[in-house]
A and B are shown apart, each in its own frame.
Chain A
Amino acid sequence: MRFIEPHAHMVSRVTDDYRNLVAAGCAAVTEPAFWAGFDRSSAQGFYDYFCQITEHEPKRAAKFGLAHFCWLCINPKESEDVKLAEEVIALIPQFLDRPNVLGLGEIGLNKNSRNELKVLEMHIELAARHDQLILVHTPHLEDKLKGTRLTLDALQNNRRIKPERVIIDHVEEHTVAMVLDAGFWAGMTLYPGTKCTSSRAIDMIERYGPERLWMNSACDWGDSVPLAIPYTALEMRQRGHSPQQIDRVIYQNPCAFLSQCRKFKLPES
C-alpha cells in the first residue's frame, strides 16, 4: 500500500508517528498552517511558525525518508483580529518560494463571522496574485453548511481562482455535492467525533465516485489518528474495492492535485 497524507499537523505529533506513517506506506505529508491551541500574541509568532514548517519539520520527516510539504496562512480561528491577520498575511510572500511550500492553507472560516470572511477574501486575493494552490478548512459541526456556502461564494467571486486548483476540506454528506458540483476538489477528514468516519467516507466514494476526492487524517494535538488513511484503505478492501480503486483515492488523486504545484516531487520520481 502507498498513500499520501495531505493534511497532517506534524508539529503536534511525536517522532513515532513519522515512523508509523512511513512503515504503513506513506510517501509524503502536507502540513497546513494551523491554530496552535492558543492565540499567538503577535505576527512574530507566526513568522517563527512558518520557519518551523518550512525549515525544521522537513528535516524531521527526512530522517525517515518522508517528503514534507506545507501550506501557509493565518488560521480562521485567529482571523477575528483583522489587524493581526493583515500583519501575518504580509509575511507570507517571503516564504512562498521556499521549496516545500505548496500554497495557501488551511484558509477558511470558523464561526462564519464578517471578519473571518474578510480575512478569507484577503487570502484568496493573495493566492490569486501569486498563482498559488489553495487548501480550504470548512467550519465544524453546525457551522459547516453555512461556512461551506460562504466559502464557495467567496472563491467564485474572485474570477482568477480556478476551481481545479482548490481543495475544500472536511466535507461531509451535506456539503460534498455542492463542492464537487462547483468544480472544486473535496477532502474527507477521518477525524473521531467531529468529522467523518472511515465508513462514511467510503460511502461518499461509492456514491459520488473517486474523481476529485481525497482523504486525510488532519492529525493534530487533539484526539486524532495519524494512520486513519491506511485504516480506511483496509475497510475499503473489506467492502470489495480493488487495489487499483484504493490506490486512486489515497495516492493518485492527491498526487494529481498537488502536482499542480511544480514543487511537489516525491523522492522516487
Chain B
Amino acid sequence: MKANDRINTMKPTRQEVLDLYFLEARHKLIEIAAFLDRVQRATGATDFRLRAFHEALGEMVRAKRDRARRVLLAFSDPTTQPIPAATTKSACGAWSGRASTSRKRKP
C-alpha cells in the first residue's frame, strides 16, 4: 500500500481546524510580511536565501494542495550525487545552487 493510499479516518472538520489554528496562522503570516518589510528597509545585498524564500512563497500561493511539501521542495537541494567533501557541518535552510556539477532529479 502506497503512503498516499492509506485510509484516513482522523480528519477534523474545516471549522475545527479554523477554530484551532486561525489565530496562530494569522500571527505567522504577519511575521512573514514584517520580515520581508525588514529586509527591504535594510541596506546591502541579499543572497540565494531570499530568492528561495520568494520562490517558496510563490509555490504556496500557486499550489492547490500539498503546500507544505512544495515549500520544503523549494528550499531543497534537488541534485542526486554526493558532494566531494563536507566543508561545514551546518545547513542554512536554502540550497545555494552551487552544486552545479550534480544532475537534477524531478521531485
Contacts and interface: CB of A to CB of B under 8 A. Distances in A.
B8 A173 contact: no
Which secondary structure characterizes the binding site on chain B? loop
A94 interface: no
A146 B16 CA distance: 36
A115 interface: yes
A172 B20 CA distance: 22
Interface residues of A, number: 43
Given A174-B73, A174-B76, A208 B86 contact: no
Contacts of B92: 141-142
A239 interface: yes
Contacts of A165: none
A80 B83 CA distance: 11
Given A114-B85, A142-B77, A142-B92, A176 B21 contact: no
Contacts of A199: 21
A112 B73 CA distance: 17
B72 interface: yes
Interface string B7-39: 111111000100011000000000000000000
A149 interface: yes
B64 interface: no
A188 B72 CA distance: 15
Interface residues of B, number: 40
A206 B68 CA distance: 15
A110 B79 CA distance: 15
B69 A173 contact: yes
Contact of A114 (B84, B88, B90): B84
B72 A172 contact: yes
Interface string A239-267: 11100010000000000000000000000
A174 B72 contact: yes
Nearest to A118: B82
A206 B82 contact: no
B80 A209 contact: no
A240 B75 contact: no
B72 A146 contact: no
B83 A113 contact: yes
Given A111-B91, A140-B90, 20 more contacts: A111-B87, A114-B84, A116-B82, A117-B82, A142-B77, A142-B95, A149-B80, A172-B68, A174-B73, A177-B2, A180-B3, A181-B3, A194-B91, A206-B10, A207-B6, A208-B8, A209-B6, A211-B6, A239-B16, A240-B12
Contacts of B16: 239-240
A180 B82 CA distance: 23
Contacts of B105: 149
Contacts of B72: 144-145, 172-174
B89 interface: yes
